[in-house]
């Protein structure tokens, strides 16, 4: 039976290489945030895989994919001092290149390697599957990618809800204040994928996050989102706004209909 121990050691060794160099406290704390996010995404993915009844080997691959899904973030932040892909480069593609260069991908058999690299590459696609990018994935590749995508969103819901409740904004580079863009609301209401470049304000990001619930793949993920009250908690930190209210009601009804 495969164990994740060797992969975890590789992950920590890789990350420590950045933290050791991180004399700059801002660099260090941002990288630690990504490391801790990764470890929580691993736990969420594992729990989700168990609830979905995955075979032990698929569970193993899902955990490895979760462990390395954001591996590109460390080099991205060191080089560009930002986690914004449009302002630097796609951290998922960077992650795939790192896994190949560091020999991590070679630690897996050919088929598992293909699943790992596909999950890392596609974990941040705005829409999955995205037929305009490549053919519709199937089988283990799609299963593992979907698990990583759900687990990633769940942890981001957790982190950001806590930040909003502490009066903090989750995203730098967006306008503060009470503004909400009608266009962002309308896109979520039309069940379209909101693109980052459409966002103007921090509240727009929250509206986009409400829309993420429409892109959740598995019922156990939705149960967790529902039980933790993420959608309600996001809504409660938004100003009173008719369209935002409509978004919340529509998304909540869509979630309830799947539970």
Site for Fe ion in 199-258 (CB under 5 A): none
The count of other CB atoms within 10 Å of the CB of residue 27 is 17
Is 174 exposed, middle or buried, given 0-12, 13-18 or 19+ CB atoms closer than 10 A? middle
Stretch that binds Fe ion, among 70-78, 178-186, 189-197, 229-237 (CB under 5 A): 70-78
Closest distance between Fe ion and the C-beta of residue 15, in Å? 15
Stretch that binds Fe ion, among 12-20, 69-77, 113-121, 185-193 (CB under 5 A): 69-77
Based on the shown chain and the rule CB under 5 A, indicate whether residue 70 belongs to the binding site for Fe ion.
Answer: yes
Closest distance between Fe ion and the C-beta of residue 123, in Å? 6
**Tokens describing residue 47:** 């729990």
Closest distance between Fe ion and the C-beta of residue 148, in Å? 9
Cis before 232 (ω within 30): no
Cβ-closest residue to Fe ion?
A: 70
Stretch that binds Fe ion, among 82-90, 121-129, 142-150, 164-172 (CB under 5 A): 121-129
Q: Closest CB to Fe ion among 124 and 221?
A: 124
Closest distance between Fe ion and the C-beta of residue 95, in Å? 8
Instruction: Say if CB 181 and CB 199 are below 8 A apart.
Output: yes
Stretch that binds Fe ion, among 24-32, 120-128, 201-209, 229-237 (CB under 5 A): 120-128
Q: Closest CB to Fe ion among 49 and 72?
A: 72
Based on the shown chain and the rule CB under 5 A, indicate whether residue 122 belongs to the binding site for Fe ion.
Answer: no
Q: Closest CB to Fe ion among 70 and 141?
A: 70
The number of residues that bind Fe ion (CB under 5 A) is: 2
Closest distance between Fe ion and the C-beta of residue 211, in Å? 18
Stretch that binds Fe ion, among 54-62, 112-120, 123-131, 231-239 (CB under 5 A): 123-131
Closest distance between Fe ion and the C-beta of residue 160, in Å? 14
SS (H, E, C) the chain: CCCCHHHHHHHHHHHHHHHHHCCCHHHHHHHHHHHHHHHHHHHHHHHHHHHCCCCHHHHHHHHHHHHHCCCHHHHHHHHHCCCCCCCCCCHHHHHHHHHHHCCCHHHCCHHHHHHHHHHHHHCCCCCCCCCCCCCCCCHHHHHHHHHHHHHHHHHHHHHHHHHHHCCCCCCCCCECCCCCCHHHHHHHHCCCCCCHHHCCEHHHHHHHHHHHHHHCCCHHHHHHHHHHCHHHHHHHCCCCCHHHHHHHHHHHHHHHHHC
Q: Closest CB to Fe ion among 123 and 206?
A: 123
Q: Closest CB to Fe ion among 41 and 244?
A: 41
Closest distance between Fe ion and the C-beta of residue 124, in Å? 5
Binding site for Fe ion (CB under 5 A): 70, 124
């Amino acid at each position: 039976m495969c164990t994740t121990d060797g992969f975890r050691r590789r992950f920590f060794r890789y990350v420590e290489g950045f933290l050791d160099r991180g004399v700059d406290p801002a660099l260090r704390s941002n990288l630690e945030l990504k490391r801790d996010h990764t470890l929580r995404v691993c736990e969420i993915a594992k729990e989700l895989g168990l609830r979905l009844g995955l075979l032990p080997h698929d569970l193993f691959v899902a955990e490895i994919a979760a462990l390395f899904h954001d591996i590109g973030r460390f080099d991205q932040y060191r080089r560009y001092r930002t986690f914004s892909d449009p302002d630097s480069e796609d951290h998922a593609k960077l992650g795939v290149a790192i896994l190949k260069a560091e020999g991590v991908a070679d630690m897996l058999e050919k088929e598992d390697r293909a699943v790992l690299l596909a999950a890392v590459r596609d974990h941040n696609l705005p829409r999955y599957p995205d037929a305009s990018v490549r053919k519709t994935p199937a089988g283990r590749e799609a299963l593992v990618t979907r698990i990583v995508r759900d687990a990633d969103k769940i942890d981001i819901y957790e982190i950001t809800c806590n930040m909003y409740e502490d009066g903090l904004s989750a995203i730098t580079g967006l306008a503060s204040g009470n503004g909400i863009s009608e266009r962002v609301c309308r896109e979520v209401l039309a069940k379209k994928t909101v693109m980052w470049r459409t966002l103007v304000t921090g509240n727009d990001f929250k509206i986009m996050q409400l829309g993420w619930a429409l892109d959740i793949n598995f019922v156990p993920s939705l149960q967790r989102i529902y039980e933790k009250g993420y959608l309600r908690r996001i809504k409660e930190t938004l100003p009173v706004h008719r369209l935002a209210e409509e978004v919340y009601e529509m998304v909540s009804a869509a979630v309830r209909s799947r539970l």
